[in-house]
Chains A and B, each alone.
Chain A
Amino acid sequence: MLSIKNLQVAVEDKPILKGLNLEVKAGEIHAIMGPNGSGKSTLAHILAGRDGYEVTGGEVLYDGKDLFELETEERAHAGIFLAMQYPVELAGVNNTYFLKASLNAIRVARGEKELTSVEFMKLIKEKVKFVGMDEKFLKRNVNAGFSGGEKKRNEILQMALLEPKLALLDETDSGLDIDALRIVADGVNKLRSPDRAMVIVTHYQRLLDYIEPDFVHVLSDGKIIKSGDKSLALELEEKGYGWLTEESAA
């Protein structure tokens, strides 16, 4: 589904990703771990289409097509979803209105008909229940005044609503207490499916206690320096990143 080959990315002429390779197939969950500044968030952002990054080499194929040919919103239409580390607060934009606009934009782009308000309300109420959220958050403005946990849960709600093929989770665990983390992980686990791939970017292993990955990759200085299964994450938890980064530098 996602094939990243020798990807090189710079921000203001400073190389961040320096030849990254990754293959993700439907149904798989990949965890990308790594120390701060290793390029984890850059990877998530560039896949989702955020401005400010320059691709200086390599390629990314999504369903066999060049991902960088697609505009940000076209990637969403094609089934890519980024759950953000810092979901923004949108003053004056009603959450329900936003969620409906998002879903219908994607439906229209796919040649499906828009949902009416009645159809949408029925659907969103199911999804709210699915992720264990309070309906009152639908009436509020997007993320405005939400706690960290509520914001992350609102991201998972969007993921449940939009049913992406490829979900990118950028530091979804950051800033969450253990209860909030469990709730968010619960939502993610319910969304595991044979048709859906997930790439989870995280600094800490603890999220992986709740979401079990098929593969764990260690990103350091813009490259994946080690890949393995979930036991690699436990090893990292124990030893930290030092032994790996030294090993790769040697």
Chain B
Amino acid sequence: MTVLSDQNKWFDRILAQAVTDLPGADLTWLQEKREQAKAEMLRLGKPTRKQEVWRYTSVDNLLKQEFESPTPDFSALQAGDIRDQIFFADDDCYRLVFANGRIVTDLSRTNGLEKEVSLGSLRASLGIESETIRSQILASSPSTHVFSELNAAAINDGLYLHVSANTKVSKPIEVIYLTLSLENQLVVQPRNLIVLDEGAEATLVEQYISTGDSVYFNNGVTDIKLAKDSKLTHAWFQDESHAAYHISNINLVQDSNSVYRNTSIALGGVWSRTDINASMKGEGAHCDINGLYTIGEKQLIDFHLNIEHLVPNTTSEEHFKGILYGKGRAVFDGRILVEKDAQLTNANLSNANLLLTRDAEVDTKPQLEIYADDVKCSHGTTIGQLDPDHIFYLRSRGISEVEARKMLSLGFANEVLMSCPTESMRTRIEAKIRAQLLSANTKP
């Protein structure tokens, strides 16, 4: 019997709560996966700032909180609760809504879905597509990230999307993960699995949101597998409660000539950490990741990218922008790895930060690790403030200083916003950022 440290007891307590009511009791591989993850979780233990990947991001406040697993029969969510959050009209998308980690069938819409597409909850799909799920979850890359092991040790529910070969999903798929707790501090651990078979195409728009300002902990893992020639457009929007803790681990594996386009936008959470790990395993694969974070008062946001070019002729573009105000803190760590065999890789990484206030802070670290000799790679970071000449120009045209700062900040974010897959999403997010900057302390 392992003796647990206080810190490890925290992980164990969360797990003990989460393991009631798990699906797949009859699936040996799943039980084994959970057991292995638990052992790994206890072995890794609490992340410390001595570890490079946690150097700038302390988990202390998170580990001071106590969380409970939600009750499974939660059903109080009404259509009105998400009306202001959704990006698409009902007829213009397929939609899944998860509340506190479990699917809300009443608010989900998949009618008219192509029969070659499986879209639903992982829990419900376990019995139907057991083999696909088994192979993907077992292939999920082993992580040094203790929180993804915590997630894996209690794999329960989440998004399951499987598009069969040469099928194009006709409408965007909108997935809402909503957490709301009235009394207790909840932990939810979505486990999402997205599989596109050869030549398949889909657009997925995910939103992590809350209807209130409560404290909760979202600890998600998303595995994405793109087969040869498939195309996934993926928008990821994190707008959690400003008291919430959020972790997302996105693991992407790309086969040859597949295309992945991601727009990641994060506005919420008191503390959030998002890892995007891309593994480009097939020649001709391309991935494109555009990110934006806009945070302020007491918020911390951490993005870690790990883009691995493993074979020849793959390309990637990673461009992140940050707007920080108040006492906002951001951490950006972007790594591009080009393996020895990965000749003719073309990869570009950038991170630009706009600090609106003196107290805002950013730690940014781009890294290129290149073992091949015939490649084109670049990286760059900037940290800057608004240009007084630009503010003067707008004010001399009658625009107030507050509005001028807002216009210029949104202008800075514009490139990323333009990469949103739909106009409706872009407009909604722009309005949210506008409101956020208006209410916040953005004075220098």
Give chain A's interface residues, CB within 8 Å of chain B. 48-51, 71-73, 75-77, 81-82, 84, 87-88, 90-93, 97-98, 101-103, 105-106, 109, 141, 158, 162
Contact = CB atoms under 8 A, between A and B. Distances in A.
Contacts of A84: 393, 396
Given A50-B392, A87-B393, A90-B390, A105 B408 contact: no
A97 B398 CA distance: 14
Given A50-B396, A90-B393, 7 more contacts: A73-B401, A84-B393, A92-B415, A93-B407, A98-B397, A102-B398, A102-B399
B131 interface: no
A49 B387 contact: no
B212 interface: no
Contact of B407 (A48, A76, A98): A98
B112 interface: no
A91 B321 CA distance: 14
Most chain B CB within 10 A, of A50, A90, A103, is at A90
B10 interface: no
Nearest to A71: B395
B388 interface: yes
Given A88-B389, A90-B393, A76 B414 contact: no
A51 B388 contact: yes
Given A50-B392, A105-B403, A90 B397 contact: no
B408 A101 contact: no
24 contacts: A49-B392, A51-B388, A51-B392, A72-B395, A72-B396, A73-B398, A73-B399, A75-B396, A88-B390, A90-B407, A90-B411, A91-B412, A92-B410, A92-B414, A101-B399, A101-B403, A102-B398, A105-B397, A105-B398, A105-B403, A106-B398, A141-B414, A158-B397, A162-B397
Interface residues of B, number: 23
B413 interface: yes
Q: Which are the 6 A-B pairs with shortest beta-carbon distances?
A: A92-B414, A92-B411, A76-B398, A102-B397, A93-B411, A106-B398
A72 B411 contact: no
Contact of B396 (A82, A90, A91, A101): A82
B399 to A, nearest CB: 5
Contacts of A88: 387, 389-390, 393
A93 to B, nearest CB: 4
A106 B396 CA distance: 11
B170 interface: no
Contacts of B396: 48-50, 72-73, 75-76, 81-82, 84
